[in-house]
Amino acid sequence: MGRIADTFVRQRAENRKLLIPYIVAGDPDLDTSLEVMHKMVAAGADLIELGVPFTDPEAEGPSIQLGHERALKNSVSLRDTVNLVARFREKNNQTPVILMGYVNPIDAMGYNTFASIAADAGVDGTLIVNLPPEEGAALNVELSAHGLDAIYLLSPTTTDKRAQFICSAARGFIYYVSLKGTTGASTINFGQVEARVKHLKAFTDVPMVVGFGIKDGASAARVAAFADGSVVGTAIVDIFQVHAQSPSKIAPLVAELLVDMRQQMDAINY
């Protein structure tokens, strides 16, 4: 098994749910990103989603869009993001890291080249927002050949027929988008999300995590009561935005947020 599967097996044995934070690589600079990655693990993160900077991140709300813009001002590229994972692996060879982003820079690099350098760097999988499984066969061949998991999204509007198809194609875990909107939008109707997740989990044994709208320890714990993990992005990237001019303040504040989430998630009796 790879790092992602190992992590879910271990957390299930420990009766804990995964805490999955998201940051944009190179926001506001690569050294700060690396520091934050290590601090997040120390604060209780189980898996890291690393955003690949892109000029048109259409699934993202204003906060994360600004994170992409800050990284792009430093010309942070897909290759830089992969190299960041390699630097992270110098001290941490256990915590899974997935690259979340858009297919455009991967297409420009070439699928085989991307999969090869990503695997060599210690990347564990990809979540490509604008590449549905129906169109991802060529990339998935390369990912699979290099031991990388292709992670897919389900949403409130996904039909049962398509959900079954996506579940059959997914590896690693499935990401359920809790809201009809971009990241950071609105608030979660926990009852509706819980019912939907329980319905979708009947189609697959692949773990299912929930993201979009998780902002604090209370919401992370509420989602963890019925999903396999809670994903938090905007609440973290907001910290980057406030302190972009004083990056030394970012890692401690991100760690403080995640410690609260971890504690409240662990307090739930699953």
Cα separation, 78 vs 102, in Å, equals: 10
User: Which structure tokens are listed for 192?
Assistant: 């509706």
Q: What is the pLDDT of residues 128-141, one digit of tens each?
A: 999 988 899 999 99
Residue 180 has pLDDT above 70, yes or no: no
Q: 182 pLDDT exceeds 70?
A: no
Indicate whether 116 pLDDT > 60.
yes
Among candidate residues 214, 219, 234, the one with its CA nearest the CA of residue 59: 234
3-state secondary structure of 156: coil
Q: Which residue has the tokens 């940051």?
A: 23
pLDDT of res. 10: 94
Q: Is the pLDDT reported for residue 184 higher than 80?
A: no
Q: Pick from 145, 32, 52: which is nearest to 97 by CA?
A: 52
What are the tens digits of pLDDT across the range 194-240? 999 999 999 999 999 999 889 999 999 999 999 999 999 999 999 99
Helix (H) or strand (E) holding 228: none
- Tokens representing 44 are 């209780």
pLDDT in the model for residue 251: 98
In the chain the domains, ranked by start, together with CATH numbers, are 3-266 (3.20.20.70)
Question: CA 246, CA 216: separation in Å to the nearest integer?
Answer: 23
Rounded CA-CA distance 57/134 in Å is 20
Q: What is the mean pLDDT of the chain?
A: 94
